[in-house]
């Protein structure tokens, strides 16, 4: 009896894996139709935050050179929440959210651009910081309105928070940031 179950135990140890799958979930934009193309260029300049990574893994947010990835977090939060209602940061539009009421939703879009020679680890670092920034804004909003962090809310409230603070990181059309490495 023990021998047989030992044998099975060894078998399961060999053929199975235990690692939980973790990662950054994202949604790719659908391929635009030919008729749609004109529309999406028309994002107001103040509503667009460009985050660029060039072939040497140097990062730019807006027009600013970033030496430490974590700086992006504050830039993004500032850009999306726009606490001083600055003319240069993202605009807000009051929208009616079902079950919550009117809330000024930011119209800001973060566009992440990279070069073909950008390293994947840098790209993920930036993606991670963007996710963290959005999570932080959502947490602030949730604590202010519901007294709990976003992760602890129930499904309905999470939906409200998602509508109030949309995840607007766009995986933009591939575009080479640095001219030197084009067409390789």
Partner 1 sequence: MAKFKKKGNNDTPGISTASLPDIVFMILMFFMVSTSMRQTDILVKVTLPEATEAAKLERKDLASYIYIGAPSKQYQAQFGTEARIQLNDSFKSVDDIRDFIASERESLSEADRTFMTTSLKIDEDTRMGIVTDVKQELRRCSALKIMYAARKTEKK
Question: Is there binding between residue 120 and partner 1 (CB under 8 A)?
Answer: yes
Residues in Cβ contact with 11 at an 8 Å cutoff, skipping those fewer than 6 apart:
none
Do strands 92-97 and 64-66 pair parallel, antiparallel, or not at all (unpaired)?
unpaired
Residue 41 sits in the site that holds partner 1 (CB under 8 A): no
Going by C-beta distance under 8 Å and a sequence separation of 6 or more, which residues neighbour residue 31? none
Residue 17 interacting with partner 1 (CB under 8 A): yes
The reply to whether 38 sits near partner 1 by the rule CB under 8 A is: no
131 lies in the site for partner 1, by CB under 8 A: yes
Nearer to partner 1, 47 or 178 (CB): 178
Is residue 13 involved in binding partner 1 (CB under 8 A)?
yes
**Angle, helices 120-146/71-81, rounded to nearest 10 degrees:** 50
> Tokens standing for 132?
């963290």
84 binds partner 1 (CB under 8 A): no
Q: Of these, 50, 111, 135, 167, which contacts partner 1 (CB under 8 A)?
A: 135
168 in contact with partner 1 (CB under 8 A):
no
Stretch that binds partner 1, among 2-10, 59-67, 79-87, 100-108 (CB under 8 A): 2-10
34 touches partner 1 by CB under 8 A: no
Distances (CA, A) of 57 to 80, 92, 105, 177: 25, 32, 32, 11
Residues 94 and 152: beta-carbon distance below 8 Å? no
Among 30, 83, 99, 147, binds partner 1 (CB under 8 A): 30
């Amino acid at each position: 009896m023990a021998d047989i179950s030992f044998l099975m135990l060894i078998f399961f140890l060999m053929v199975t894996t235990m690692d939980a799958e973790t990662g950054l979930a994202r949604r790719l934009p659908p391929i635009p139709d030919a008729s749609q193309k004109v529309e999406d260029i028309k994002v107001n300049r103040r509503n667009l935050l460009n985050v660029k990574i060039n072939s040497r893994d140097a990062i730019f947010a807006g027009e600013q050179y970033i030496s430490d990835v974590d700086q992006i977090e504050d830039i993004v939060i500032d850009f999306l929440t726009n606490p001083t209602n600055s003319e240069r940061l993202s605009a807000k539009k009051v929208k009616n959210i079902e079950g919550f009421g009117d809330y000024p939703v930011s119209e800001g879009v973060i566009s992440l651009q990279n070069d073909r020679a950008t390293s994947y680890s840098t790209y993920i670092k930036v993606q991670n910081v963007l996710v963290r920034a959005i999570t932080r804004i959502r947490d602030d909003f949730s604590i202010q309105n519901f007294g709990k962090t976003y992760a602890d809310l129930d499904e309905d409230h999470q939906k409200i928070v998602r509508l109030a603070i949309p995840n607007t990181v766009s995986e933009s059309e591939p575009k080479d940031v640095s001219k030197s490495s084009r067409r390789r």
